[in-house]
Structure 1
């Protein structure tokens, strides 16, 4: 397991804060109240482990298939419905949304092999990720892939805790299925807008793994 590059600064800051808090506790509290001192150590150590865990990149064998659409992130499927898109597409699409809790791996991956034809950042609000309007009102970054004559839009959406969306793609990029597209820090959601003839292979409340779980085929 590796640590994602987006976490290096956050982890360094967390280690410094952990050290300062526990040094202060050691010199000013431990002699008078060792129980409180140990409690502070345990709590801060658990928080430090959480920060390390959040930026983890586990070893995985990624799914590769020209006719397969793989999950761009870890999480839980919370929406599968037909919608009228508010961006890029004019025709109706299937929206498939994946909620990412703070405990999930937060690396975002390309769901298909193809060409990036659209990449756009949108500032916005920070509604909770499961809010119905988070898809259109929250801070987000949208990418459209063209693969085998089909187009897929993937939308990284900030949540109440997610304050930074990172996206590495620009129009014209050629990408491989399963390679990194970006990262969202601390709790979020990813929406996919798919052609109506996509055969969906997952269900509501199903757990999925980024780069591994096949969401659908065409």
Structure 2
């Protein structure tokens, strides 16, 4: 299992805390064998579960210049028109994908093109399922242009997530499906699309970053 490099420090700290706590608990309870193994078994399960937060699986990517590919693993929770106030200043079609703690948290680039804008916004940590998290939570905005079209990807931290790491910078030429970044411990990715696209996903659908088609550009 491949682990994302941005998870190493968090995993190390979590493992150290769990090791110290379990050692203290095991000594304090003065358990006899084999019961003394129970706290250590629970610790091992928790550490393995924490490792899964930062897994970065290798996948066969969907590459199609007319398709917008999901930037995140998770469930589609919104498909709606919304005014985009940061960059486009116009109404856009938004497809929002919510990442649970069980999903891969590495995000990918939905279309090939050029990164023309990135900005980090400090913010609050409302539950990412809440629509107002898109404007109030910590988030990273990335705009990608391709030919005559462009889209905006907004990575949003949630109630558990505390850090967003972006893997691209302004001026980068990016490929469809390459790594965009990672949101530690979750939460949500909104994609702001031109209103004329054809949506092929639906609310409630489970999608996969780099593989699932969310919408198509007019041919």
Q: Which bin holds the TM-score, normalised by the shorter protein? A: over 0.9
DSSP 3-state at the match of 1:57: coil
Map 1:123-162 → 2, pairs under 5 A: 123-162=122-161
The corresponding residue for 2:17 is 17
The corresponding residue for 2:77 is 78
The corresponding residue for 1:3 is 3
The corresponding residue for 1:90 is 89
DSSP 3-state at the match of 2:90: coil
Q: Could you list the runs of 5+ residues in structure 1 that have no partner in the other structure?
A: none
Instruction: Describe the superposition over 1:180-209 as per-residue Cα deviations: whole angstroms up to 9, x where unpaired.
Output: 111001121000000011111100000000
The corresponding residue for 1:188 is 187
Following superposition, the deviation at residue 45 of structure 1 comes to 1.6
Following superposition, the deviation at residue 19 of structure 1 comes to 2.9
DSSP 3-state at the match of 1:143: strand
Once residues 30 and 201 of structure 1 are traced to their aligned partners in structure 2, the CA distance between those partners, rounded to angstroms, is 59
Following superposition, the deviation at residue 144 of structure 1 comes to 0.4
Once residues 207 and 146 of structure 2 are traced to their aligned partners in structure 1, the CA distance between those partners, rounded to angstroms, is 22
The TM-score with structure 1 as length reference comes to 0.93
The answer to whether the Cα contact below 8 Å between 2:164 and 2:183 also exists between their aligned partners in 1 is yes
Aligned length: 217
The answer to whether the aligner puts 1:121 opposite 2:120 as a matched pair is yes
Following superposition, the deviation at residue 26 of structure 1 comes to 4.6
Instruction: Describe the superposition over 1:48-102 as per-residue Cα deviations: whole angstroms up to 9, x where unpaired.
Output: 0111111111221011111111111100000000111121112211011000011
Q: Could you list the runs of 5+ residues in structure 2 that have no partner in the other structure?
A: none
The corresponding residue for 2:43 is 44
The answer to whether the Cα contact below 8 Å between 2:76 and 2:97 also exists between their aligned partners in 1 is yes
